[in-house]
């Protein structure tokens, strides 16, 4: 492969074979590449919601502390290269060609021996390990793709910290039909003797799974608890929306934290990130409190309550399951009770879209549905029919651009919010359409 476009075409071809759970093929692939993942110091992040935000926050703090950090997240929202970052910078097109060409050669060697063709996510993950190794990263922040125990990322022997963000129902076809089964799958990233940071679950059954796994693995568990965050407020400062909270950095001292990432749920993610950074301090990394404060303020994660336009206020959010919808609804109830709210919604068919509609639609005055460009997308007409069970004013738009245009024309002069949410896979088209309307 000689060009970046050839790399993406190769991955699209491999993607047609679908998802295969299990680690055998990934182990074979990494053995072919010299098991370089064992030379990396890894923060491994699993969970249902909040993984990407926590990864972004921890990465930003490490950048402020002068620690060379790699970050691997999925799926890509706006640019495939955004999945691979070192010190906040995307992998270059030249580096894409280099690392994926080497991984492709390793796959060809496996096929020649009669072994299974690695999946697209296994190839992408192997490329991440290879690039971070060549970049001499001091720390790698690694987000699981799905679940944990059998996820392709879960082949390292001794991660520095294993992080569990909030856990709820998602990917039931692969992870299990109960919350306990899903929790077990995600807790499968916990390794013997490692440090574990977990968002404090509301469900005792999930706590039991995490605590029992930690006991079996002799892992040190720290719960991050958003209830320790106090004096929460939101305001506009220097032309940006920000939210503030105070949090105990030590037993005797609280610090005020400012976030540029909006949404009440980002405070929970920030608390998890702070406790993860504290765990890294315990591993010997020098990270000052001011690094944490500056890093959290500078952290960005596009597609999570991201403001695309201020007049009118236009926000996009990747909420795509019931738990994320509940958290998004809480944000609307806290800060937008006096606003006219218009939704644009596009979802994948295999997500819990009906429960999301039941949670979110009572807060809107008008709803537009769209069809994301994805093989698993739910048709916008079918989504509109479903949404009509919970709202009287629902219309399907044939394109994202038309939905954006209609939402802009609806807002008028009154205080209003246009909120686009659902699948991450249509947010790129959405951002482009909003940019053309400004």
CATH of residue 189's domain is 3.40.1190.10
Q: List Cβ neighbours of 68 (8 Å cut-off, separation of 6 or more).
A: 86, 87, 135, 136, 137, 138, 139
Distance CA 152, CA 124 (A): 10
pTM, entire model: 0.87
Domain end among 243, 270, 296: 296
pLDDT number for residue 275: 98
Q: 215, 198 in Cβ contact below 8 A? A: no
**Is residue 173 located within the same domain as residue 52?**
yes
Q: 132, 40 in Cβ contact below 8 A? A: yes
**Is residue 282 located within the same domain as residue 356?**
no
pLDDT number for residue 233: 83
The three-point CA angle 364-367-370 to 5° equals: 145
Distance CA 377, CA 380 (A): 9
Distance CA 227, CA 51 (A): 19
The separation between the first and the last C-alpha atoms of the chain, rounded to the nearest angstrom, is 39
Task: Please check whether residue 341 lies inside any domain of the structure.
Answer: yes
**Is residue 25 located within the same domain as residue 116?**
yes
Task: Please check whether residue 240 lies inside any domain of the structure.
Answer: no
pLDDT number for residue 177: 63
**Is residue 388 located within the same domain as residue 408?**
yes
Q: What is the DSSP letter of 92?
A: P
pLDDT number for residue 20: 79
Q: Is 392 helix (H, G, I), strand (E, B) or coil?
A: coil
Task: Please check whether residue 358 lies inside any domain of the structure.
Answer: yes
Residue 392, domain extent: 306-437
Task: Please check whether residue 301 lies inside any domain of the structure.
Answer: no
**Is residue 283 located within the same domain as residue 357?**
no
In 3D, which of 90, 82, 84 has the Cα closest to residue 71? 84
Q: How many domains does the chain have?
A: 2
Report mean pLDDT in 10-residue bins for the chain, 438 residues: 94 86 93 97 95 96 98 88 96 98 98 95 97 98 91 94 88 67 94 96 94 97 94 70 89 88 90 98 96 96 84 86 87 84 91 86 95 88 94 95 94 83 86 84
Task: Please check whether residue 133 lies inside any domain of the structure.
Answer: yes
**Is residue 285 located within the same domain as residue 382?**
no
**Is residue 292 located within the same domain as residue 394?**
no
Task: Please check whether residue 238 lies inside any domain of the structure.
Answer: no
**Is residue 323 located within the same domain as residue 273?**
no
Q: List Cβ neighbours of 315 (8 Å cut-off, separation of 6 or more).
A: 262, 305, 306, 307, 308, 417, 418, 419, 420
**Is residue 291 located within the same domain as residue 313?**
no
**Is residue 186 located within the same domain as residue 323?**
no
Query: What's the CATH code of the domain at 432?
Result: 3.90.190.20
pLDDT number for residue 268: 95
Q: 67, 183 in Cβ contact below 8 A? A: no
Task: Please check whether residue 242 lies inside any domain of the structure.
Answer: no
**Is residue 146 located within the same domain as residue 98?**
yes
Distance CA 329, CA 337 (A): 11
Q: 266, 304 in Cβ contact below 8 A? A: yes
Distance CA 255, CA 58 (A): 17
Task: Please check whether residue 245 lies inside any domain of the structure.
Answer: no
Length of the chain: 438
Distance CA 437, CA 408 (A): 8
180: tokens are: 């306990």
pLDDT number for residue 172: 52
pLDDT number for residue 239: 57
Domain end among 243, 277, 296: 296
Distance CA 336, CA 35 (A): 50
**Is residue 332 located within the same domain as residue 211?**
no
């Amino acid at each position: 492969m000689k060009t970046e476009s050839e790399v993406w075409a190769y991955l699209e071809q491999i993607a047609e074979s679908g998802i295969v759970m299990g680690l055998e093929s990934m182990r074979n692939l990494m053995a072919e590449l010299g098991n370089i993942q064992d030379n990396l110091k890894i923060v491994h992040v699993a969970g249902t919601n909040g993984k990407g935000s926590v990864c972004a926050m921890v990465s930003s703090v490490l950048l402020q502390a002068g620690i060379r950090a790699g970050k691997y997240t999925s799926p890509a929202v706006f640019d495939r290269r955004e999945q691979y970052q070192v010190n906040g910078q995307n992998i270059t097109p030249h580096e894409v060609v280099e690392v994926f060409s080497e991984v492709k050669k390793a796959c060809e060697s496996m096929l020649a021996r009669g072994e299974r063709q690695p999946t697209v996510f296994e190839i992408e993950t192997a490329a991440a390990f290879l690039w971070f190794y060549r970049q001499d990263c001091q720390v790698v922040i690694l987000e699981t793709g799905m679940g944990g125990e059998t996820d392709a990322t879960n082949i390292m022997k001794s991660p520095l910290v294993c992080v569990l963000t909030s856990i709820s129902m998602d990917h039931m076809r692969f992870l299990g039909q109960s919350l306990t089964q899903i929790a077990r799958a995600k807790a499968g990233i916990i390794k013997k003797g490692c440090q574990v940071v977990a968002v404090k679950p509301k469900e005792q059954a999930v706590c039991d799974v995490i605590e029992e796994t930690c006991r079996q693995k002799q892992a040190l568990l720290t719960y991050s608890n958003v209830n320790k965050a106090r004096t929460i407020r939101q305001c506009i400062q220097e032309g940006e929306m920000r939210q503030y909270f105070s949090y105990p950095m030590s037993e005797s001292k609280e610090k005020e934290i400012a976030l540029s990432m909006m949404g009440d749920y980002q405070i929970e993610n920030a608390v998890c990130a702070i406790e993860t950074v504290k765990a890294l301090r315990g591993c010997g990394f020098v990270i000052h409190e001011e690094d944490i404060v500056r890093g959290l303020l500078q952290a960005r994660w596009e597609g999570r309550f991201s403001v695309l336009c201020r007049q009118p206020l236009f926000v996009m959010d990747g909420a795509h399951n019931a738990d994320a919808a509940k958290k998004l609804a809480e944000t609307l109830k806290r800060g937008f009770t006096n606003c006219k709210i218009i939704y644009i919604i596009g979802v994948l068919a295999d997500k819990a879209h009906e429960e999301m509609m039941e949670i979110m639609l009572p807060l809107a005055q008008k709803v537009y549905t769209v069809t994301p460009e994805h093989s698993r997308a739910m048709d916008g007409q079918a989504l509109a029919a479903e949404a009509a069970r919970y709202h009287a004013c629902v219309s399907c738009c044939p394109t994202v651009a038309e939905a954006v245009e209609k939402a802009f024309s609806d807002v008028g002069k009154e205080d209003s919010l246009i909120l686009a949410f659902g699948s991450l896979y249509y947010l790129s088209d959405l951002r482009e359409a909003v940019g053309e309307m400004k």
